[in-house]
Structure 1
Amino acid sequence: MAIDNFVLSLCLILLFGRVLGEAFKRLQLPAVVGEILAGILIGPSLLGWIAPHETLAVMAELGVILLLFSIGCETSIKHLFQAGNSAAGVALLGIALPAVVIGLVCLLYLDLPGFTALYLGCALTATSIGISVRVMAQAKQSQSQEGHIILGAAVIDDIAGVILLSLLFNFASSGEVGLIPSGLLILKIVGFLLLAPPMARLLLYLFRAVKPKEEETGYEAIVTMILICLFAWLAHALHAPALLGGFAVGLALSRQFISPLNRYLQNPFAFTHEMEVESKPLVDIFAPIFFVYVGISLDLSQIDLGWSGLLTLLMLSLLAIITKMMAGLRVPGHLRTKAIVGSAMVPRGEVGLVFAEMGLQMGIISPKLFTELVLIIAITTIAGPLLLKWTLAKDDK
């Protein structure tokens, strides 16, 4: 992308994302929805000012990495583990129901080939971490019990989505699924999640020790970006989502970080707090780029506007929403708690889009199915925050 196109695209993304995000906040609606609609407005679907591009996609991924970093800064590892059983139950139910129900409907009702039907079902299993946690953070609920369950379930969902995509890719390429490579992939991802936060914490002590004596503005922000980029690269090298690297660094900065090393090393609260403060403007700039780019990635002009096409689209979208909402039933407690968690699992977001793109490139799904799949992802991505906002409001009352 030429520099003039890049800077103009970035200008429009930030401007329209901010304006529509603020407008939706004033209407007591999630800013995320406004930012996604901003992308639809300036993208190929309506005005056509910006087209999806690899450069913008990289910036969008950096935005969601930084967003997960900010969430990690406020997250307690102890509370995350306490929510582990409920989070795992929600995640597994939220994976099984869409894969089975939507896969069977595509196979029996739409008469699609078996592998294509399975691929469509699996493409709608992963929950977008960024979208739901952003809504919870704006509602000041990210550190509630529901918030920890949602975060844990979304992380498991995202990891499962990557593993499923790898398995389906191997099967489409070679006609068989390698159990040993799949097991090694799972072990590497789990090992990264367990070891990365303590490793990042140790590096924090090193950077604090070599901090210049004189006041150097920007030192903490630079250190933060170094750690985020390093651990995002490590996560990607281990075939895990790069955003888990940002989350691991955030956990290392958290005031509620727990480790056996705490009894030997003094907590660097002043330094980590300064790192959070210095990096906040970066999060505020880059995080909305991700949500606007989700809208830009959609081309609604490819929709089949016939009755049959619209009914199929409506049916699959409702199934995609209902099967994820039902995952909230796994949470103990009141019906409203179940509804909050279920609503947060609805948005598909980035992992679903990766599934769609890979399926199109490998010839598993046709261009028509690709458009329908992307539109279903778009509907869930917009419907999820609205449902979550509504359930949170009901919970407050």
Structure 2
Amino acid sequence: MDSFQFLKTAVVFLLATVIAVPLTKRFRLGSVLGYMIAGMVIGPQLLGLISDTEGVASISEFGVVLMLFVIGLELSPQRLWVMRRSVFGTGLLQVLSAAMAIGAVGYFLFGLSGRSAAIVGGSLALSSTAFGLQILAERKEAGSAYGRQAFSILLFQDLAAIPLIAAVPLLATTSASHGVDIYSVLRTIGVIVAVVVGGRYLLRPVFRFVAKADSVEVSTATALLVVMGTALIMELAHVSATLGAFLAGVLLADSEYRHEMESHIEPFKGLLLGLFFISVGMSMDMSLLLVQPLLVAELVIGLLLLKGLLLWPLARLPGGLNRSDSLRLIMLLASGGEFAFVVLKQAAEKQLIDGGQRDALVLAITLSMALTPLLVVLAARLLNVKPKKPTREYDTIDTDTPRVIIAGFGRMGQIIGRVLRAQGIPFVALEHSVEQVDASRRFGSINLFFGDPTRPELLRAAQADKAEVFVLATDDPETSLRTARLVKRQYPHLKIIARARNRQHVFRLMDMGIDEPVRETFHSSLKMTRKTLEALGLSHELAVDRVERFRRYDEDVLKKQALVYDDETKLIQSTRDAMADLQQLFEADAEPGAERERQRDKDKPLSAED
């Protein structure tokens, strides 16, 4: 491809994206559908502006590789073990039941072979993570009961996509040789083990060495090198490159470089994923809608109904959802997903399915995904549920460069802002409540602006890239977590001071790598406890000692419970054990000689941790 052709292709892609994506997002249909529509329009079947669809597809598939790496980064093995009941319960049942049911339909009604039916069933059992999470975020329902259940199912589906992608070449080899190719199976297992073992002992020292260079460019290059290098090793061994990227992400999920890598990879992932969905739209055979409209309609309606019927009992029984939430879960997850495009493309290349079958399935999946936002809106209207949104435009931020950004200007944010202003420290405060902004502005001219701190463009306008500290003082836990995730990814240099509503909120903030979240009522409760003990006759020194011992002990328990907070049984047992240990600690204080021990502890110099 010469330079002129390359520039022409790039301009066409960008122009189609700029037009199509904002239109679909304006009608709350999601950016993924916009990318696909852009691909259909500029592809060979409509305007024909791009002819080299194969070249575009080969480049864009790296977007899926990067997406799998980022998903792996989010899946700490320890975290997965803690979430095992929610993820490996309903999620496992959904994938197995849907895969077997769809595979059976393909085998008995459409005449697919056993291997082909298994691949088609597994691929269509998966839903769209990109659509699902985007819709939940736009409607601010990620923290709802059905939103949490949907996230657990989508998380397991992302995990299930990995062995499914890896199984395609194995099934093709087995099909070609009319038996199990032991060499291929052993080679696949050997390469996976080598990547896991090598990554376990090599990746962290490499990142530690690169970190000493203190260069963003080198860190970005290293992150891309890890992804591309692992994918290349897998390709050389005739194993899925996406599997290698996922394994690399999992191996680095517990490392201290996780958030930094995620922030470096995210822009490339978003751009290439958009290109991937455009290439899917370009490769869609739209003529099938004219030639075989009944077949396409049967596939779309059959997929939605079959997955919906299977999701209903799973949502009601293992998921524990009520009827309205179960209906909303079905509308969100009944469609096909983006991983099916990858699996079906590989299956067609390995001749497990023919080209016509692949085109019909891709078209049916795309149409089902296009219907998902409409079905979600329809369900919300039937249930009289409306998405939350601000009633006025966000303020334009025009101020000097701040050293501190305060997200949330309620009780805690106002106190922080008053002290900073008294110290002459420049700051910008962001508040999502119109009433709170108007009330605060009546008491003086301060750098307070109306806006949602979870929006990237607002943080850019607030000059978050030049600030030093980000104070997370919002009182809504879900908004707090979304803001923290955004700041961690886009502005990893910022020191985050986070307010926490309760212990569960603390656990989730700590899980993001935020050190010592400030519990909003903890310290005031300790002060009230001290005053109560003094009112009951304890000396000031003894009351202070008892409260300080409790504070240290509770913070230690908090760190231990953060590892098991998703396991209710272990969390309850931990709380009971902590109460018994604390009682024993105070009983020991009453024994002879305890006063001398406490005095000796006071005389010791404080350590760095204290």
Match of 1:297 in 2: 283
SS in 1 for 2:47: coil
Residue aligned with 1:28, SS: coil
Give the drift of 1:322: 3.5
Cα pair distance change 1:295/1:118, threshold 3 Å = same
- Amino-acid identity (%): 25
Other-structure match for 1:243: 242
State whether residues 88 and 153 of structure 1, in contact with CA within 8 Å, keep that contact through their aligned partners in structure 2. Answer: yes
Seen in structure 2, the aligned counterparts of structure 1 residues 120 and 64 have a Cα distance that, compared at 3 Å, is closer
Asked if the contact 1:127–1:345 (Cα under 8 Å) also holds between the matched residues in 2, the reply is yes
Q: CA deviation at 1:310?
A: 2.6
1:325-367 deviation line (CA, Å, top 9, x unaligned) = 43572652324278548834733334445425643763x5455
Q: Which shows bigger deviation, 27-36 or 167-176?
A: 167-176
- Which residue does the alignment assign to 2:230? 231
- What CA deviation, in whole Å up to 9, does each residue of 1:149-190 have, x standing for no partner? 245312332123224423431343122244785477468658
Note closer, same or farther for the CA distance 1:181–1:90 as it changes in structure 2 (3 Å cut).
Answer: farther
Identify the match of residue 161 of structure 1 among 159, 164, 179. Answer: 164
Contact kept in structure 2, 1:43 and 1:295, CA below 8 Å: yes
User: Tell me, what secondary structure is at the counterpart of 2:287?
Assistant: helix
CA distance in 2, matches of 1:197, 1:342: 40
Query: Which position in structure 1 is the counterpart of 2:575?
Result: none
The equivalent residue for 1:263 is none
Q: Which amino acid aligns with 1:154?
A: Q
Aligned to 2:445: none
Structure 1 pair 96–69 and aligned structure 2 pair: CA distance change class (3 A): closer
> Alpha carbons of 1:184 and 1:137: their partners in 2 closer, same or farther (altered >3 Å)?
farther
Q: Which residue of 1 aligns with 2:511?
A: none
Q: In the TM superposition, what are the counterparts of 1:178-189 in structure 2 within 5 Å?
A: 178=181, 181-182=184-185, 185=188
Amino acid at match of 2:272: F
> Aligned equivalents of 2:304 and 2:75: distance in 1?
27
SS at match of 2:365: helix
Aligned mates of 1:195, 1:149 — CA distance in 2: 30
2:210 corresponds to 1:207: yes
**Candidates 316, 328, 340, aligned match of 2:299:** 316
Q: Which amino acid aligns with 2:232?
A: W
Return the alpha-carbon distance in structure 1 between the equivalents of residues 103 and 122 of structure 2.
8
Distance 1:253 1:169, change over 3 A: closer
Contact 1:83 1:145 in 2 (8 A): no
* 1:1-397 equivalent positions in 2, closer than 5 A: 1-51=1-51, 53-72=53-72, 77-110=77-110, 120-122=120-122, 124-127=124-127, 132=132, 145-146=148-149, 149-178=152-181, 181-182=184-185, 185=188, 196=199, 200-209=203-212, 211=213, 216=215, 218-236=217-235, 241-248=240-247, 257=254, 267=256, 275-303=261-289, 305=291, 309-325=292-308, 326-327=310-311, 329=314, 331-335=318-322, 336=325, 339-340=328-329, 343-344=332-333, 346-356=335-345, 358-359=347-348, 362=351, 365-384=353-372
Say which is worse superposed, 168-177 or 384-393, in terms of deviation.
384-393
Residues 27, 163 of structure 1: alpha-carbon distance in 2 compared, 3 angstrom cutoff? same
> What is the letter of the counterpart of residue 227 of structure 1?
V
Q: Distance in 2 between matches of 1:275 and 1:333?
A: 37
Cα distance in structure 2, aligned partners of 1:194 and 1:338: 44
Q: Is the 8 A contact 1:32 1:131 kept in 2?
A: yes
Q: CA deviation at 1:388?
A: 6.3
Q: What CA distance in whole angstroms lies between the structure 1 residues aligned with 2:229 and 2:120?
A: 34
Contact 1:39 / 1:294 at 8 angstroms: preserved in 2?
yes
Give, in whole Å, the separation in 2 of the partners of 1:302 and 1:10: 29
What's the counterpart of residue 579 of structure 2? none
Distance 1:395 1:332 in 2: 23
Q: Deviations over 1:198-257 (max 9, x none)?
A: 753343212113x16xxx552322222222222333454566543354455555666xx3
- Taking the aligned partners of 2:271 and 2:376, their CA distance within structure 1 comes to 24
Name the CA distance, whole Å, in 2 between partners of 1:194 and 1:128.
32
Structure-1 separation of matches of 2:290 and 2:226: 46
Question: Do the aligned partners of residues 140 and 279 (structure 1) sit closer, same or farther apart at CA in structure 2, a change above 3 Å counting?
Answer: farther
Cα contact 1:40–1:298 (8 A) shared by 2: yes
SS in 2 for 1:124: helix
> Residues 170 and 219 (structure 1 numbering): CA distance in 2 closer, same or farther, change over 3 Å?
closer
Moved more, 229-238 or 370-379: 229-238
CA contact (8 A) 1:80 1:148 kept: no
Partner of 1:261: none
How far the C-alpha of 1:298 sits from its partner, in A, is 0.7
What's the offset of the Cα at 1:89?
A: 4.3
* Matched length: 376
The question of whether the paired residues in 1 share the 8 Å contact of 2:56 and 2:279 is answered with yes
- Residue 284 (structure 1) shift: 3.8
Contact 1:126 1:352 in 2 (8 A): no
Cα distance in 2 for residues equivalent to 1:191 and 1:134: 36
Of 52-61 and 183-192, deviating more is: 183-192
Q: Tell me: higher relative CO, structure 1 or 2? Use CA pairs within 8 A at least 6 residues apart.
A: 1
The one-letter amino acid of 1:372's match is A
CA 146–93 in structure 1, closer or farther in 2 if over 3 Å, else same:
closer
| TM-fit CA distance, 1:300 | 0.8
Q: Is the 8 A contact 1:232 1:246 kept in 2?
A: yes
Matched to 1:292, the amino acid is I
What amino acid sits opposite 2:206 in the alignment?
L
**Inter-partner Cα distance in structure 2 for 1:197 and 1:395:** 47
Structure 2 CA distance for aligned equivalents of residues 368 and 5 of structure 1:
31
**Compared with structure 1, are the counterparts of its residues 39 and 89 closer, same or farther at alpha carbon in structure 2 (3 Å cutoff)?**
farther
Q: Aligned equivalents of 1:151 and 1:239: distance in 2?
A: 28
Q: Partner amino acid for 2:225?
A: I
Name the residue aligned to 2:530: none
Residue 398 of structure 2 is matched in structure 1 by none
Find the structure with the greater CA-based Rg. 2
**Cα RMSD over matched residues?**
4.2
Is the 1:77–1:251 Cα contact (8 Å) retained in structure 2?
yes
Task: State the distance in 2 between where 1:203 and 1:273 align.
Answer: 16
TM-score (ref. length: structure 2): 0.51
User: Closer, same or farther in 2 for the Cα pair 1:76/1:25, shift >3 Å?
Assistant: farther
Q: Distance in 1 between matches of 2:195 and 2:333?
A: 25
